[in-house]
Chains A and B, each alone.
Chain A
Amino acid sequence: MPGIRAQLLKGTTPLLVLSVLRDGEQYGYEIAQRIRERSGGAFAPSEGSLYPALHALEAEGALVASWRESDRGPRRRYYGLTPAGEGLLAEHEREWSSFSLGVARAVGGARGA
């Protein structure tokens, strides 16, 4: 059900982006590839929502961006976490843990009923 998954992914894109950038600075295409790999190919955020999320996080001060040489050679725009971004990531992780646990209990509880 791609439609349902797309709706679920839409709200978690900032969390996915921030968690990938915890490993170090990366550029947009690299971030998308890394999310796909870490999910085991289960999902990949829409690339159309990736860049708006990156720019929004940069506008909030959670990310800092700079143009420099990539590992492939050509210059790319690299994003990195700021201290505010690290705090935002921790907050997102707490919210996601609480949310996902609540959903699992609700679904599990309904199934059990």
Chain B
Amino acid sequence: MRRLSLWLVLGIAASAGLVAAAWLGRSFEIPIFMLAVLWGAVAIDWLAARMRGDERPRPETPHPLDLPPRVAGYLETLDHGLDLPADVRSEIGLEIACHLEDSIASLEAEGLDAERATGEALARLGRPEELARQLRRAHQTTRRLLAGAAGGVFSAGVGVVQGYVVATFSAIMVLLAAAVAGAVAQRAGLSISLNLSDPGGGTIFGCLLAWVAAFVAAHRAVRASAERSRRPVRQLGRGWAIAGGAVLLFLVLFVVDMGQSWLAVPFELGVPLAFAAGALVWTERTAPRLPLRAVIALGTVVLIAPVLLLAAATTQAGGWSFSYTEASLRLDHVAPAWLTSGAPVASGSTIGYGPTADVRWTLQDPNVLARFHDLRAEVWRGSPFPGRPAGSSFAIVDTSYASPYVSYPVTFAGDTADTRIDVGHSRTTSWWVVLVGIGPDGHRYRLGAGDFESQFSGTLMDWLTASQ
């Protein structure tokens, strides 16, 4: 209840801030989103704590037990053989110690000396290894194992949400720090150029969040299942690492559909590895609990500080420019150009950013096309423009290919020509769509061209088995 009340205080404070902001006529979309996530995490965390039985009472030490060395040695051997969670071992050890204390006292009252009474009391209990084996079997029942599995799955789900919340907060803090650093550098007259663009950029960011979520989920699953099944965390951790890692690897390879690139591959494969790490590393420790002051400070920084700091910071959008000639695009590799009044017959534009796109050419003089036959749209692979700035998507025709990747018929209507292209599952992301046809002299000519950027979307296995 104390932890719930801490979160309640933070939630109420954030709500009060929102009300004040609304009254002042300011909009705070980000704080609203963060508040919704915060309340969701509070509810799930409280529910998970209730399910875990965090309030289970722990036995107090009855009194300082004055045990002979032989008894202490017996209890130590018993403890090593129990292979149960630490709190269960502690409770059993205390119970057996109390039993031996009563037994020795009773035997001494019957007239035995201390040494003989201790020996007799230990003999009545039997070998510590056998006692540990029987106690272990009594605790590690099949019913508890199944309960542990179910509890572990539920706790893993809670851990996924908590991990995503923590990762999102952390990412916001990193971006905030970067924005502040950029603003400070700009005021100091420094110019910072940083390009982080990649076709799989969204996937990479999502995977980084998933790493934290997977790690926290595995940690919670192992601890919850160990507590319920009365089995040691290291034993269960291996099972969770293998099973959870295999499931996540399957999902990443064959199920989850997202933007792909070679840079995104290791980040995707890192998700099952993060789960395995969470199941094997630091599982003996409980998750860290932040004190109240730290929680309030963190919540204040995340919810309020970004508005203040970003309002003070300024950003400048920079661009790049470079010159090129028609020849440098290497479109002649496709076919020589047929120019009318020195200009292409058609100027093209594409709509779409996936593997499919709609292409429309606007014809300068539709009558020119009447002299051509076998008109079609050819899709040619592109390659990076030599010396182009980082992050630029401008490309030239890849001359290492002698034929187009795919061709499509063209539909003509008035002064426009349309087609729909689909580059399918190809790792190439830069394309040139060229309108070609056989001219009156029987040769093939290029009538118009336009570049097109595609994004590979599919599973990781689709990416690994895709054609170039």
Contacts and interface: CB of A to CB of B under 8 A. Distances in A.
Interface of A: 27-29, 33, 46-49, 51-53, 55-56, 59, 67, 72, 74-77
A59 B141 contact: yes
A53 B377 CA distance: 82
A76 B81 CA distance: 23
A46 B59 CA distance: 26
A47 B138 contact: no
B414 interface: no
Contacts of B143: 59
B69 interface: no
Interface of B: 57, 59-60, 62-63, 91-92, 94-96, 98-99, 101-103, 106, 124-127, 130-131, 134-135, 137-139, 141, 143-144
A71 B418 CA distance: 95
Secondary structure of the B side of the interface? helix
B99 A51 contact: yes
A67 B125 contact: no
Given A29-B102, A77-B98, A48 B131 contact: yes
Contact of A77 (B57, B59, B138, B144): B59
A48 B95 contact: no
Given A74-B62, A75-B62, A47 B99 contact: yes
Given A47-B103, A49-B126, A51-B99, 8 more contacts: A33-B106, A48-B131, A52-B135, A52-B137, A55-B135, A56-B137, A59-B143, A77-B94
Nearest to B131: A48
A56 B230 CA distance: 13
B62 A46 contact: no
A51 B135 contact: yes
A51 B103 CA distance: 14
Contacts of A77: 59, 91, 94-95, 98
Nearest to A56: B138
Nearest to B59: A67
A59 B139 contact: yes
Given A29-B102, A59-B144, A48 B130 contact: yes
A32 to B, nearest CB: 8
A48 B99 contact: no
A48 B63 contact: no
Contacts of A67: 57, 59-60, 62
Secondary structure of the A side of the interface? helix
Contacts, number: 70
Nearest to A52: B134
Nearest to B141: A59
B121 to A, nearest CB: 9
Contacts of A75: 59-60, 62-63, 98
Most chain B Cβ neighbours within 10 Å, of A49, A55, A72:
A55
Contact of B98 (A49, A52, A74): A74
A28 B137 contact: no
A56 B102 CA distance: 22
9 nearest CB pairs, A to B: A48-B126, A75-B62, A52-B134, A56-B138, A29-B102, A55-B138, A67-B59, A74-B62, A52-B138
16 contacts: A28-B95, A29-B99, A46-B124, A46-B126, A47-B103, A48-B127, A51-B92, A51-B95, A51-B96, A51-B99, A52-B138, A67-B57, A67-B60, A74-B98, A76-B62, A76-B98
A54 B98 CA distance: 15
B138 A48 contact: no
Nearest to B135: A52
A47 B63 contact: no
A59 B138 CA distance: 7
Contacts of A48: 124-127, 130-131, 134
A77 B101 CA distance: 13
A72 B137 CA distance: 31
B110 to A, nearest CB: 12
Contacts of A33: 106
A100 B95 CA distance: 34
